Structure 1
């Protein structure tokens, strides 16, 4: 075989290997580019929405979640109302969007004392409950996450719970700092589930 024949055979072999390598690379990239899969969900919204299925029903039926002020929040509802919007310490609204059973947190399930639970912003309590329900719905045992490469990201809103918590300083003491901090929310879930 002459030099040109050897060169041609070499180029054919290298081209074939390059083609195979490109196919393997494409397969690897496709495996690593899988989109995010939602495998579990949980939520709480006004209007008796305590699951994604409840939320879908609320939307499909065209309802809203507005209801009268709840009676289980420690508010003196009749005394709270005043038709004058400028009345200090009063509200001229008779209804709003409130979560049901916000006072029914199972602190013992998460290893939290009743006193610490009282000092926690309700957002932190709801995050723990919905994190648990999300894992449950996904079929993931909460204790299986310990030491895994699982991340927790949370979004919380204004911290008006501090205004209530400040009135109970004697009974809450050291728990208040973490209970009202938005920066603790994701850490509380991470700590609870390891």
Structure 2
């Protein structure tokens, strides 16, 4: 079993960690209006990765919340959402990247990004950046209009809001405190997370 741990991810950075089947990941927005990108692979099998397409397809909706399952690309449950204070997250847009800042915002020079932070976190587990796909963007608000246009708006999360996801297989995960100004209402803040070990949970 994994040991329970409580961590704070500083602004514009990320962290990798392992979860065992049955462990619960609690992600908390300590200050409000801060996005956190989550991606995961099956432990020991990087060909099995979190899939936004499968998850949206099987849920028949784009906004996933309490009771919904996040699926892998080979159609196996990876996470189940147990608790969701905010009820609005994004599973459409890819992690912000250096290229995104250059193409969309004409940014010059290096810009911290979720893709870079996810890649650095997964490198410690021997997983190549090319395997990282669309992340589950916790607390990110993306609205879609009737014509299909998307708009990134300020998150609805308030200080102390959290989401809890139960691991449905042994996982290697990475989590960020998002680096995109537009996703976080113009500021960068930390993200807190805790892995609640299945061995320390008591059935009621």
Higher helix share: 1
Question: With CA pairs under 8 Å and 6+ residues apart, which has the higher RCO, 1 or 2?
Answer: 2
Higher strand share: 2
Same-fold call, TM > 0.5? Answer: no
Q: TM-score, normalised by structure 1?
A: 0.25
Q: TM-score, normalised by structure 2?
A: 0.24
